[in-house]
Amino acid sequence: MRPLVTALGLIAAWEALVWLTGLPPYILPPPSRVAVVLIQRFDLLVEQAAWTSGEMVLGLALGLALGAALAVVFAASAAWRRWALPLVIVSQAIPVIAIAPLLVLWLGYGMASKVAMAALIIFFPVVSSLYDGLRRTDPGWLELARTMDAPPRAVLLQIRLPAALPAFASGMRIAAAVAPIGAVIGEWVGASAGLGFLMTQSLARGQTPLAFAALTILCLLGLALYTAADRLARRLVPWQPPQGD
Amino acid sequence: MRSAHIVLDGHVVAEDLSLDFPGGRTTCLLGRSGVGKTSLLRHLAGLLPGSRAAGPVAYMAQRDLLLPWLSVLENVLLGYRLRRDGAARRAAEPRARALLTEVGLTDCLHDLPQALSGGMRQRAALARTLCEDRQIVLMDEPFGHLDAVTRLDLQDLAARLLQDRTVVLVTHDPLEALRLGHEIRILSGRPFTVGPVIAPPGGLPRDPGDAALLALQGRLIAELRGQT
Q: How far is B59 from chain A (nearest CA, A)?
A: 7
Q: What is the pLDDT of residues B100-148, one digit of tens each?
A: 998 889 998 999 999 999 889 999 999 999 998 888 999 999 888 888 8
Sheet holding B193-194, edge to edge: B57-60, B136-140, B166-171, B26-30, B183-188, B193-194
CA–CA distance, A238 with A241 (Å, rounded to integer): 7
How many Å lie between the alpha carbon of A1 and the closest alpha carbon of chain B? 33
Residue A89 belongs to a domain with what CATH number? 1.10.3720.10
Sign for the pseudo-dihedral over CA of B160, B161, B165, B166? negative
* A83: amino acid identity, one letter: W
Which residue of chain A has the CA closest to B133? A148
pLDDT of residue A241: 65
Minimal C-alpha gap between B45 and chain A (Å): 7
Supply φ then ψ for residue B50, to 5 degrees.
85, -5
Mean pLDDT, to the nearest integer, of B54-67? Answer: 90
Q: Is A145 part of a structural domain of the chain?
A: yes
Q: Are B184 and B220 in contact (CB under 8 A)?
A: yes
Average pLDDT over residues A230-240: 88
C-alpha distances out from residue A175 to A114, A118, B208, B209, Å = 15, 9, 59, 62
**H/E segment holding residue B89:** helix B86-102
Q: Which pLDDT belongs to residue A38?
A: 94
Contact B114, B68 (CB under 8 A): yes
Q: In terms of DSSP bridges, do strands B166-171 and B26-30 run parallel, antiparallel, or are they unpaired?
A: parallel
pLDDT of residue B228: 46
Query: How many other C-beta atoms lie within 10 A of the C-beta of residue B38?
Result: 20
**Which tops the pLDDT comparison, B5 or A137?**
A137
Domain B1-56+135-228 sits in CATH 3.30.465.10? no
Q: Shortest CA distance to A195 belongs to which of A63, A46, A58, A61? A: A46
Cα B1–Cα A150–Cα B155 angle in degrees, nearest 5: 60
ipTM (interface pTM): 0.87
Domain ranges of chain B: 1-56+135-228, 68-133
Per the structure, the complete domain to which residue A122 belongs is given by: 31-236
- In the predicted structure, residue B227 carries a pLDDT above the cut 60: no
| CB-neighbour burial class of residue B88 (10 A; exposed 0-12, middle 13-18, buried 19+) | middle
Mean pLDDT (chain B, rounded): 87
Q: Does residue A8 form part of some domain?
A: no
Q: What is the pLDDT of residues B18-37, one digit of tens each?
A: 788 888 889 999 988 888 88
pLDDT, residue B169, reads 94
Using an 8 Å Cβ cutoff, are B111 and B72 in contact?
yes
User: Hey, are the CB atoms on B78 and A149 less than 8 Å from each other?
Assistant: no
Q: Is the pLDDT of residue B83 over 50?
A: yes
Is A242 inside a domain boundary? no
* Contact between B191 and B14 (Cβ < 8 Å): yes
Q: pLDDT (tens digit, 9 = 90+) per residue, B33-58?
A: 888 888 888 888 888 887 777 788 99
Closest CA to B31 of B152, B153, B176: B176
Over residues B178-200, mean pLDDT? 86
**Would you give the DSSP letter of residue B203?**
P
Contacts of residue B51, Cβ cutoff 8 Å, sequence gap at least 6: B4, B6, B42, B43, B44, B45
Mean pLDDT value across residues A121-150: 93
Inside any domain, residue A116: yes
Closest by CA to A46, choosing from A216, A226, A225, A206, is A216
pLDDT at A181 over 70: yes
User: For position A244, what pLDDT does the model report?
Assistant: 47
Average pLDDT of the residues of chain A: 91
Partner-chain contact A141 B67, CB within 8 Å: yes
Q: Identify the sign of the CA torsion A215, A216, A219, A221.
A: negative
- Which positions in chain B touch A138 (Cβ < 8 Å)? 65
- B82: nearest CB among A143, A155, A238: A155
Contact: B67, A159; criterion CB under 8 Å? yes
Chain A residues touching chain B at CB-CB below 8 Å: 138, 140-141, 143-151, 154-155, 158-159, 162-163, 165, 237-240
Q: How many structural domains compose chain A?
A: 1
> CA A208 to CA A129: how far, in whole Å?
39
Q: What is the mean pLDDT of residues A162-173?
A: 93
d(CA B127, CA B121): 10
- Provide the pLDDT confidence category of residue B10 given band limits of 50, 70 and 90: low
Indicate whether A13 belongs to any domain.
Answer: no
- The pLDDT of residue A141 is 95
Residues of A in contact with B88 (CB under 8 A): none
| Confidence category of residue B13, pLDDT binned at 50, 70, 90 | confident
Q: Which residues of B touch A239 (CB under 8 A)?
A: 68-69, 112, 114
CB contact under 8 A, B112 and A239: yes
Whether residue A6 is contained in a domain is answered as no
Please give the pLDDT value at position A56.
Answer: 94
Residue % of chain B over a pLDDT of 70:
95
Residue B164 reports pLDDT greater than 90: no
pLDDT average, residue stretch A20-39: 93
